[in-house]
Amino acid sequence: MILYAIGVEQSVSSMYNSGILTLSLVGLIKVSWLPLNFIMIPVLLTGMSIGYNSNDMFDTMNVSPWQKMLAKILTLAMFDGIIMLSNVLIFVIIAVLSKVSLGYAMYQFTGYFINTFIFLIVCGAIGLFFGKVISKYLGSVISAISAILLFLLLCNFYKTDNFILPLIDLRTISNSFDVISYDKSYIYHNILWLIIALIILMSSFAFKNLLIKWGSYLSLFVICIFLIWNMHLVNPTFYDITIKAKVGDSGHNPSRFKTYYNKDDRGYYVDKYKMSLNIGDELENNCEMEIVINGNSVKAIELGLFGKLNIKSVEVNSEKQSFTRTNNSFKVELPKEYKNGENIKMKVQYAGIINTVWSQGQQFFHARSNSIFLADVFEWYPKLNDDRLKEYDIDVKYSGTNKIYSNLNYENKSKVGKLIGKDKEVFLVSNRMVEKNYKNYLLVGNEESINNDTLCDDIIRLFGENNSDDKKKIIFGLAVPGTGAGEDYKNAYLK
């Protein structure tokens, strides 16, 4: 109880910002692993004790081994129930104090509950196995040491990436989006650990029929391998954005993780974009560009494009051209030499999964069903990352139900929308976000952020109290390093 209380206190302390306590469900869920990790060893040892102990009265009454095991499971379930109830009570208190809607609270509660449930099930199964098997054959000391070593393996204290380990899987996000993303990797992770718990629990039972025993083990192991392989396929890609500088003679950073940057004297720039976007769990794009030559002699063109996006074809003036990949960019050899003042029409068809993380495994740029964050210098479409204004005409087909927000004018018709405008860049943001008209701004973000007038006032002060232009949007997105107060676009701020 003392360890649990310390964990809760640490969770609340993490919500202090500049000496001010800001309670929020997002803040709670991000560190919800703390109290559970603090009590992981006591939970394992308690399960071990329950698994090891026997009862003379049960032996006298000739209670079957299955009934004894059921009694141990029910005893541990009562113990776990107290922990679960405590976690739920803390969640309810913070939800009430945060004054959030019931729908928002239940959405956040789902992942919070699942993570706690997985933790208790797995630790309980391991504890029973240690007590009933390891303690019986190797002794209680070895069993206790094993529990401590297992804690070091499963805990979240030293882990940043969520693949198989740690046990509690949190898609931590660096700002105001929902903390837990119920994507495929998250689902696979939890199902995998439930099956592992079942395998461990089955190992504590005495099976008389060996065919059933080993047949069950084999089936479960095959499912585990399938889940691990699929987790590997959807595992996020590390994307480094911490160094924002124009480096390298070739125009791109030499590290394969780094962002592509334009050189001022490339001899060409993109003036117009026309795109046909299809966004779901995979992003597809038919991108047409009008490229202006402003150099004396241009024989090749290099544009940034995220390395995980697979290019299907490249056309220059309606003729297919070969291309080469160079980290997060691609290079096209032109069919002839182009001079200053000439234009090139280039068409690029590509598709791929965008799912990136950066420092400490935090979720970053992504595009999937019902959640999008494509912004800043990230090369989700062919670009030079320069500051010139470009014309955009984008048709968007989106499988999600959440609204898309952008710095461009967005017209939405059912699941098809259109983005039109002129700016240095285009960003797309979509999640469970709400809107509020406040002091000549349209604020868009997480419900807890938008409902907090103090936070909204602080954000507006960063951009200036008196907005001289027409009403601008302030979109609360993910934290992008190096952007300071936020990116200023013609019709929106991205905070």
Give residue 421's domain range. Answer: 268-432
CA distance linking residue 173 with residue 213, whole number of Å: 42
CA distance linking residue 464 with residue 466, whole number of Å: 6
Question: Does any domain span residue 259?
Answer: no
pLDDT tier, 175 (very low <50, low <70, confident <90, very high otherwise): low
Domain count, the chain: 2
Type of residue numbered 439: K
349 and 391 part of one domain = yes
Question: Does any domain span residue 469?
Answer: no
Most confident of 19-23, 230-234, 377-381: 377-381
Could you tell me the CATH number of the domain that includes residue 358? 2.60.40.1730
pLDDT of residue 494 exceeding 50, the answer is: yes
**For residues 5, 200, 52 and 62, what is the CA-based torsion angle, rounded to 10 degrees?**
130
For 312-354, the pLDDT digits (tens) are 999 999 999 999 998 789 999 999 999 999 999 999 999 999 9
pLDDT of residue 263 exceeding 80, the answer is: no
For 28-75, the pLDDT digits (tens) are 998 999 999 999 999 999 999 999 987 777 777 778 878 888 889 999
Angle at 90 between CA 85 and CA 95, to 5 degrees: 125
154 and 288 part of one domain = no
126 and 185 part of one domain = yes
222 and 324 part of one domain = no
pLDDT tier, 410 (very low <50, low <70, confident <90, very high otherwise): confident
Lowest-pLDDT choice from 150-159, 206-215, 271-280, 426-435: 206-215
For 235-262, the pLDDT digits (tens) are 888 887 765 543 333 344 445 556 776 6
pLDDT at 486: 72
Question: Does any domain span residue 50?
Answer: yes
276 and 219 part of one domain = no
pLDDT tier, 302 (very low <50, low <70, confident <90, very high otherwise): very high
pLDDT of residue 413 exceeding 70, the answer is: no
Question: Does any domain span residue 445?
Answer: no
| Strands 283-293, 298-304: pairing kind | unpaired
Residues linked to residue 270 through DSSP beta bridges, in sequence order: 291
Arithmetic mean of pLDDT, 264-271: 86
Arithmetic mean of pLDDT, 385-393: 92
pLDDT tier, 383 (very low <50, low <70, confident <90, very high otherwise): very high
Type of residue numbered 102: L
200 and 122 part of one domain = yes
pLDDT at 454: 86
pLDDT at 177: 78
For 108-153, the pLDDT digits (tens) are 999 999 999 999 999 999 999 999 999 988 998 999 999 999 999 9
Question: Does any domain span residue 446?
Answer: no
Sequence-distant (≥ 6) Cβ neighbours of residue 103 within 8 angstroms: none
Sheet (strand 323-325) strand order: 298-304, 329-338, 323-325
In whole numbers, what is the pLDDT of the chain averaged over residues? 88
Question: Does any domain span residue 188?
Answer: yes
Arithmetic mean of pLDDT, 253-278: 77
Per-residue three-class SS string for 1-39: CHHHHHHHHHHHHCCEECCEECCCHHHHHHCCHHHHHHC
23 and 161 part of one domain = yes
Question: Does any domain span residue 250?
Answer: no
pLDDT at 465: 64
179 and 311 part of one domain = no
231 and 315 part of one domain = no
